[in-house]
Amino acid sequence: MNFFADLHIHSPFSMATSPSLAPETVCDAAEMKGLSVVGSGDALHPKWRHAWENFENQTSVVVLPTAEVEGAGRIHHLILMEDFSCFEELATIFSPHSRDLLNGGRPHLRLDGQEIAAAVHDLGGLIGPAHAFTPWTSLYASHDSVASCYGDEAIDFLELGLSADSSYGSGIAELQDVVFLSNSDAHSAHPAKIGREFNQIRLKNLSPGAAFDAVRRGNVSMNAGFFPEEGKYNRTACTRCYRHYHLDEAERAGWRCPEDGGQIKKGVADRAAELGGMGDPAERPPYYHIIPLCEIIRVVTGASSTLTRKVDQRYRRILEFLGPEIPVLVETAIDEIATVDPEVAAAVGAFRAGTVHLVPGGGGRYGTFTLP
């Protein structure tokens, strides 16, 4: 059976996250989105781990223990375990190598990728680079190969990140047999954030062990997420004024913006092309480009934010009549959506057909889209 899963979120103990994050809000939001599996996030943090262990889950959502760490070179790694007790053991191993393991949701470790991966694998866990192509805190921001970071330790998956889809990793020879994951990296349980990228995975039964095993075996039948242009690091751009640059132009400028002296960061599209990516993803599971329903409603209504009451009311009305968000976006017939909200139905039809107009993001500013 196929289920939707978002395996990378955070807790209120991570930087720049919502203080309202709690096991209840995460599971309730996941159920509204149509996610059957959600990563716990930040399972190395004792208080967050204990909150999940003591949580009486009244929803249909299965929780898989996960965490993100920052290792040497400021590289972020995503870790999956079958059980929270494994993260308790891992925390004991990592404790001598971290100053913020007890107070940071995404702890910093004085260990390189190979050392971190070895510790995870010794406990039976899975590990892979988080948001692998982004110009900050990622594998390919600092390394030209997986082995350069992880040494003799294999990676169990690679997380694409919001500025990339499967095509960005296709063509990179070392990733040929590596499972791609598409996760939200959500810092809030708001429906515009959690599940904004997700995976469809094949499970024998709905349980944490089955979800873990599906990733281990590569049973991912679909990836889904942003059009890469929507990501805030898709194009090479200035981090201050967000002006876009061709790669050779940025190199001639010494990676400093001639307009305001801001730092120019290499975009994911350029970096993936350098590595041999941007190829034909035909051998991969399909990648479904998606725009969160809140974002669609924001554009349709002309609202300033997805947090407005106008957007929330319209969002909840659609879910009341049609069910959880993700199935509405990827499965429900356009005619059926139109019986509830004709404008949203037309917008969903547009992004399914790929006729939205995209204005690419870069330098830290998200891309935008307009509807025909």
Using one digit for the tens of pLDDT, what is the confidence trace for 209-244?
Answer: 999 999 999 999 999 999 999 999 999 999 999 999
With respect to residue 365, please indicate whether it lies within any of the assigned structural domains.
no
Phi, psi dihedral angles at 44 (to 5 degrees): -80, -20
With respect to residue 91, please indicate whether it lies within any of the assigned structural domains.
yes
Residue 349: Cβ-neighbour burial (10 angstroms; 0-12, 13-18, 19+): middle
CB atoms within 10 A of CB 70: 19
Residue with tokens 């990140």: 161
pLDDT of residue 13: 97
Instruction: Give pLDDT tens digits for 260-309.
Output: 999 999 999 999 999 998 877 778 999 999 999 999 999 999 999 999 99
Rounded distance, CA 208 to CA 38, Å?
Answer: 9
Instruction: Give pLDDT tens digits for 102-124.
Output: 999 999 999 999 999 999 999 99
Residue 209: Cβ-neighbour burial (10 angstroms; 0-12, 13-18, 19+): middle
The helix-helix angle for 84-94 and 46-53 (nearest 10°) equals: 170
Phi, psi dihedral angles at 143 (to 5 degrees): -130, 155
* 3-class state of residue 331 by DSSP: coil
With respect to residue 346, please indicate whether it lies within any of the assigned structural domains.
no
User: Which residues form the domain of 208?
Assistant: 2-227
Query: In this structure, what CATH number is given to the domain that contains residue 222?
Result: 3.20.20.140
372, pLDDT greater than 90: no
Give every CB contact of residue 34 below 8 A, 6+ residues apart in sequence: 4, 195, 323, 324, 325, 326, 327, 328
CB atoms within 10 A of CB 200: 21
Longest dimension (CA), the chain: 59
Q: What percent of the chain has pLDDT over 90?
A: 95
pLDDT of residue 282: 76
Across the strands, what pairs with 38? 6, 63
Over residues 35-47, the mean pLDDT reads: 98
Rounded distance, CA 293 to CA 195, Å?
Answer: 11
Phi, psi dihedral angles at 22 (to 5 degrees): -155, 160
Q: Of 157, 45, 180, 43, nearest to 104 (Cα)?
A: 45
Rounded distance, CA 244 to CA 246, Å?
Answer: 7
Q: Are 126 and 80 in contact (CB under 8 A)?
A: yes
pLDDT of residue 121: 98
Q: How many domains does the chain have?
A: 1
pLDDT of residue 133: 97
H runs (alpha helix) in 95-191 = 113-122, 139-142, 146-150, 166-169
With respect to residue 291, please indicate whether it lies within any of the assigned structural domains.
no
With respect to residue 337, please indicate whether it lies within any of the assigned structural domains.
no
With respect to residue 35, please indicate whether it lies within any of the assigned structural domains.
yes
Rounded distance, CA 158 to CA 127, Å?
Answer: 8
pLDDT of residue 20: 94
Q: Are 116 and 71 in contact (CB under 8 A)?
A: yes
Residue with tokens 């110009």: 135
With respect to residue 310, please indicate whether it lies within any of the assigned structural domains.
no
Residue with tokens 């996960």: 66
297's enclosing H/E stretch is: helix 293-301
Instruction: Give pLDDT tens digits for 336-349.
Output: 999 999 999 999 99
CA atoms within 13 A on the CB side of 123: 24
pLDDT of residue 48: 98
Residue with tokens 């590289």: 75
pLDDT of residue 25: 98
Rounded distance, CA 213 to CA 364, Å?
Answer: 35
Rounded distance, CA 292 to CA 343, Å?
Answer: 15
- What mean pLDDT is reported for the chain? 96
Rounded distance, CA 320 to CA 340, Å?
Answer: 10
Least confident span in 65-69, 132-136, 331-335, 353-357: 353-357
- What angle is formed at CA 244 by the lines to CA 240 and CA 246, rounded to 5 degrees? 135
With respect to residue 357, please indicate whether it lies within any of the assigned structural domains.
no
Instruction: Give pLDDT tens digits for 151-197.
Output: 999 999 999 999 999 999 998 999 999 999 999 999 999 999 999 99
pLDDT of residue 280: 78
